[in-house]
């Protein structure tokens, strides 16, 4: 059963993480406007803040449905959207989830929030039956790759993929979600 979108799934300090829906699209677009460098890094230019709405609400890997997708919003105490997380259940195989996106408003970066969000996300994913988490990080995103390595992700393979008008090498990384 899918959780109501208003339900808080987990909290990190004063931030609440809950599912987002189409009604949140204007907030997600505004977040995209504040994170244009992230969009340009992955999709090339000109960056379109609407891309973040697509990524969080409808983008799916092959063979998956919206029932498998969890577009999550990271909200400050007043409800302001400061981040987005996209995870897909049982992809590429049962028990393994795929993290398609973790983006934070630039004003909320470099404060340890990403690390704390990941710790709570991992805890929540374990409760959903996930045994591992996979992601892909662009070769152009060296700081992102270092972040994921600090979070316990290890390289699996490299793939070439095209997003928007940009073709890039992506490092596929994986982390088991067993208790440490």
- One DSSP character per residue, 15-63 reads EEEEE--GGGHHHHHHHHHHTHHHHHHHH-SS--THHHHHHHHT---TT
With 0-12 / 13-18 / 19 or more C-beta atoms within 10 angstroms meaning exposed / middle / buried, residue 26 is: exposed
* Nearest-angstrom CA–CA distance, 180 and 163: 35
Q: What is the pLDDT along the chain (180 residues), one digit of tens a residue?
A: 344 447 889 989 889 999 988 888 888 888 888 877 766 666 666 656 666 677 778 888 889 999 999 999 999 877 788 999 999 999 999 999 999 989 888 888 888 899 999 999 999 999 999 999 999 888 888 888 999 999 999 999 988 876 666 667 888 999 999 765
Name the CA radius of gyration of the chain, rounded: 15
Residue with tokens 């710790």: 119
Global confidence as pTM = 0.85
Verify cis geometry, omega within 30 degrees of 0, for the bond prior to 46: yes
Q: What is the pLDDT of residue 125?
A: 96
Q: Please count the helices (runs of H) and the strands (runs of E) in the chain.
A: 5, 8
Class of domain 8-128: alpha beta
Q: What share of the chain is helix, strand, coil (3-state, %, to 5)?
A: 35, 35, 35
**What pLDDT shows up at residue 105?**
87
pLDDT computed for residue 169 by the predictor = 82
């Amino acid at each position: 059963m899918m959780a109501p979108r208003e339900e808080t799934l987990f909290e990190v300090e004063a931030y609440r993480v809950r599912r987002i829906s189409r009604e949140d699209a204007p907030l997600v677009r505004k977040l995209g406007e504040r994170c244009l460098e992230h969009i340009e890094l992955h999709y090339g230019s000109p960056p379109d803040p609407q891309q973040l709405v697509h990524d969080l609400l409808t983008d799916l890997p092959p063979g998956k449905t919206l029932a498998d997708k969890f577009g999550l919003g990271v909200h400050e105490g007043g409800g302001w959207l400061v981040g987005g997380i996209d995870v897909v259940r049982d992809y590429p195989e049962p028990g393994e989830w795929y993290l398609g996106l973790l983006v934070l408003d630039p004003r909320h970066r470099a404060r340890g929030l990403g690390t704390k969000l990941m710790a709570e996300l991992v805890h929540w994913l374990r409760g959903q039956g996930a045994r591992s988490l996979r992601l892909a990080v662009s070769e152009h995103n060296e700081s992102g790759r270092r972040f994921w390595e600090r979070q316990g992700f290890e390289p699996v393979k490299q793939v070439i993929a095209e997003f928007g008008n940009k073709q890039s090498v992506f490092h596929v990384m994986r982390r088991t979600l067993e208790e440490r």
